[in-house]
A and B are shown apart, each in its own frame.
Chain A
Amino acid sequence: MSAVVSPTIARLGARSVFGRRRGVLLFILPLVLVGLAVLVRALVGEDLTATSDTLYGLGLAVIVPLVALLATTGVLAPEIDDGSISYLLAKPISRHTIVVSKLLVAGACVVLFAAVPMLVAGLVMMADEPDIGVAFALGSLAGGLAYCALFALLSVMTRHAVVVGLVYLLIWEGLLGGLLDGVRWLSVTRWAGAIADEVAGDLALVADLGATYAVVATVVVIVLGTWLTGRRLRGFNLTGDE
């Protein structure tokens, strides 16, 4: 079978994400973002610094990776945990098709629960400059997809993907990213910031990081992460309870 995407796997994946209690969080996160945007607008008025601080500090750095983490682990981890992924694997389907189909669902979640809410929040805070919202939406999309690929790889490598993902976000993207300047070269959130920077003109979110580098790095992570996940799934050891 040469199809890149299997509608059946995507359909099952979507039900897996929203069929669990964790799926509710996907709806809450964007509400928090938009709610805060309304609050900022009411308290500060239309202010570029406040807008970009909110959209970067809360949106790109927190909401986007969390949505990606919830969606990606929701679509992959439960099946690996309980072994029901064997029903997908015991089929004459390319492992890459399985991964791409599942990532498509996670990607749709990123659009719906991260990129669109970022656009809305941007428009709420800077109604006169829609470019800002669009820029952050595009940054969210790029960053969100990269995070999805990264967390997919994590899901097939460890049974504690959610915890490891959170630790990675806190320590690497959060703590070290704030302390060490060099981390920007290897930080998905900062690449997303650089892309938003480029689209909006001059937001000065991330210093000394070219947009070209950010785009290339993001694409590399998406492609490599997806491919490695499929490769790992191809040699997936699944044993009984013995």
Chain B
Amino acid sequence: MSTITLDHVSRWYRNVVAVNDVSMTIGPGVTGLLGPNGAGKSTLIALMSGFLAPSAGTVTLDGDPLWRNQAVYRTIGLVPEREALFDYLTGRQFVVANAELHGLPDPGAAAQASIALVEMSDAQDRVISTYSKGMRQRIKMASSLVHDPAVLLLDEPFNGMDPRQRMHLMDLLRRMGGEGRTVLFSSHILEEVEQVARQIEVVVAGRHAASGDFGAIRRLMTDRPNRFVLRTSDDRTMASVLLTDPSVRGARLRSEGGIELEASDFGRFSEVLPRLAREHGVRLLEVTPTDESLESVFAYLVSA
């Protein structure tokens, strides 16, 4: 059982702040590091894997500093985001080389076990340059699991995977977490994170915006004013009727047609809208949420 602790960690590049005063503890089980692109997720993972020195604060693994401490790699397995591998090797040669570099007593056997775990046994003797994106991701996984690490760090592991590969990797991560390993992966897709992670850490613009299980994060994201654009057969009537209901906070007729609407209680609103339309003989032509993009969700989280 291993724990990574970030204590008031900041990292800046000249005058750009990538990570701003972040404190978090990553313990056993699967943790998802969620945030939009450019939020500082890769910087955080680089800090947690000892590939970047914090400008301020400390990053430790079970109390030991990670920076300039190569002994931590006995405990850590890292799956970097970057695609580059030793393309001229076969998958097996690559994983065996990783096993040798860890000084394992039987590199061949360790590599076989690790390759089997990610279901790459069939393709292991092909040269890596012929691999698909998903296969590269899996052989990277195999190389980082070869020494049976207590901590596994993965930077955007689901990028470029097809749905089947994604399911398989999710399964693998859940299993790793269930075995008591400390697994942390980053993603900018909430659905991805909540399917695997027990604990979610949200980062936005370098700040630690939220932390908790996915239920808590979901609530933070859904119990908020929702904006919609409606197109109906009678905008004026629909707008006035909707304003009488407490779930609607405001409505505005748009000059180009349609209603801009802000609902405060999403659950109630979704129930009330079709009923009121039917009662007043208005046809709903279109209901479009306008702020469902993750960025607006995050923007809300940060200002909350």
Given the interface pairs A83-B80, A91-B73, the reply to whether A239 lies near B51 with Cβ below 8 Å is yes
Which residue of the partner chain, among A7, A12, A95, A241, contacts B86 with CB atoms under 8 Å? A12
Given the interface pairs A237-B53, A238-B52, A240-B45, the reply to whether A86 lies near B78 with Cβ below 8 Å is yes
- Let me know if A9 is at the binding interface, CB within 8 A: yes
Kindly provide the distance from the CB of B115 to the nearest chain A CB, expressed in whole angstroms: 16
**Which residues of A are found within 8 Å of B88, using beta-carbon distances?**
15-16, 19
- Contact assessment for A92 and B103 in the assembled complex, using a CB-CB cutoff below 8 Å: yes
Q: Is the interface of A mostly helix, strand, loop or mixed?
A: loop
Among residues of B, the one whose C-beta sits closest to the C-beta of A1 is B103
C-alpha gap A9/B18 in the complex (Å):
33
Kindly provide the distance from the CB of B296 to the nearest chain A CB, expressed in whole angstroms: 21
Among residues of A, the one whose C-beta sits closest to the C-beta of B156 is A240
C-alpha gap A94/B89 in the complex (Å):
24
- Contact assessment for B86 and A90 in the assembled complex, using a CB-CB cutoff below 8 Å: no
Contact mask A166-200 → B, CB, 8 Å, 1/0?
A: 00000000000000000000000000000000000
Which residue of the partner chain, among A7, A8, A11, A237, contacts B52 with CB atoms under 8 Å? A237
C-alpha gap A235/B51 in the complex (Å):
8
- Contact assessment for A236 and B51 in the assembled complex, using a CB-CB cutoff below 8 Å: yes
C-alpha gap A98/B275 in the complex (Å):
70
- Let me know if A202 is at the binding interface, CB within 8 A: no
Given the interface pairs A90-B76, A91-B73, the reply to whether A242 lies near B40 with Cβ below 8 Å is yes
**Which residues of A are found within 8 Å of B89, using beta-carbon distances?**
12, 15
Given the interface pairs A87-B143, A91-B73, A240-B80, the reply to whether A6 lies near B101 with Cβ below 8 Å is yes
Given the interface pairs A90-B49, A240-B155, A241-B42, the reply to whether A82 lies near B103 with Cβ below 8 Å is no
- Let me know if A24 is at the binding interface, CB within 8 A: no
Given the interface pairs A1-B103, A91-B102, the reply to whether A237 lies near B51 with Cβ below 8 Å is yes
- Contact assessment for B97 and A8 in the assembled complex, using a CB-CB cutoff below 8 Å: yes
- Contact assessment for A12 and B51 in the assembled complex, using a CB-CB cutoff below 8 Å: no
A19, A94, A238, A240 — which one has the most chain B CB atoms within 10 A of its CB? A240
- Let me know if A93 is at the binding interface, CB within 8 A: yes
**Which residues of A are found within 8 Å of B86, using beta-carbon distances?**
12, 15-16, 84, 87
C-alpha gap A9/B80 in the complex (Å):
19
**Which residues of B are found within 8 Å of A220, using beta-carbon distances?**
none
- Contact assessment for B70 and A93 in the assembled complex, using a CB-CB cutoff below 8 Å: yes
- Let me know if A160 is at the binding interface, CB within 8 A: no
**Which residues of B are found within 8 Å of A12, using beta-carbon distances?**
86, 89, 97
Among residues of B, the one whose C-beta sits closest to the C-beta of A7 is B100
**Which residues of A are found within 8 Å of B73, using beta-carbon distances?**
90-92
- Let me know if B41 is at the binding interface, CB within 8 A: yes
- Total A residues in contact with B, Cβ cutoff 8 Å: 32
**Which residues of A are found within 8 Å of B77, using beta-carbon distances?**
90
- Contact assessment for B42 and A242 in the assembled complex, using a CB-CB cutoff below 8 Å: yes
C-alpha gap A8/B98 in the complex (Å):
9
Contact mask B85-114 → A, CB, 8 Å, 1/0?
A: 110110000000110111100000000000
- Total B residues in contact with A, Cβ cutoff 8 Å: 40
- Let me know if B14 is at the binding interface, CB within 8 A: no
- Let me know if B304 is at the binding interface, CB within 8 A: no
- Let me know if B71 is at the binding interface, CB within 8 A: yes
- Contact assessment for A91 and B18 in the assembled complex, using a CB-CB cutoff below 8 Å: no
- Let me know if A89 is at the binding interface, CB within 8 A: yes
Kindly provide the distance from the CB of B40 to the nearest chain A CB, expressed in whole angstroms: 7
- Contact assessment for A239 and B103 in the assembled complex, using a CB-CB cutoff below 8 Å: no
- Let me know if A234 is at the binding interface, CB within 8 A: yes
- Let me know if A216 is at the binding interface, CB within 8 A: no
**Which residues of A are found within 8 Å of B43, using beta-carbon distances?**
239-240, 242
Among residues of B, the one whose C-beta sits closest to the C-beta of A86 is B80
- Contact assessment for A239 and B101 in the assembled complex, using a CB-CB cutoff below 8 Å: no
C-alpha gap A172/B301 in the complex (Å):
58
- Let me know if A88 is at the binding interface, CB within 8 A: yes
**Which residues of A are found within 8 Å of B42, using beta-carbon distances?**
239-242
Among residues of A, the one whose C-beta sits closest to the C-beta of B72 is A92
- Contact assessment for B101 and A8 in the assembled complex, using a CB-CB cutoff below 8 Å: yes
Given the interface pairs A240-B80, A242-B41, the reply to whether A86 lies near B102 with Cβ below 8 Å is no
**Which residues of A are found within 8 Å of B46, using beta-carbon distances?**
237-240
C-alpha gap A239/B52 in the complex (Å):
7
C-alpha gap A235/B66 in the complex (Å):
11
C-alpha gap A101/B85 in the complex (Å):
19
Closest 4 CB pairs of A and B: A240-B42, A82-B84, A238-B51, A8-B100
- Interface pairs (28), CB distance under 8 Å: A6-B100, A6-B101, A12-B86, A12-B89, A15-B86, A15-B89, A16-B86, A83-B80, A83-B84, A84-B84, A86-B51, A86-B78, A87-B86, A87-B98, A90-B78, A91-B73, A91-B101, A92-B102, A93-B101, A235-B53, A237-B51, A237-B53, A238-B52, A240-B41, A240-B45, A241-B82, A242-B37, A242-B42
Interface contacts beyond A237-B52, A237-B53: sample of 15 additional A-B pairs, CB < 8 Å, sorted by A:
A1-B103, A7-B100, A8-B97, A8-B101, A15-B89, A83-B84, A87-B101, A87-B143, A90-B49, A90-B78, A91-B73, A237-B46, A238-B52, A242-B18, A242-B43
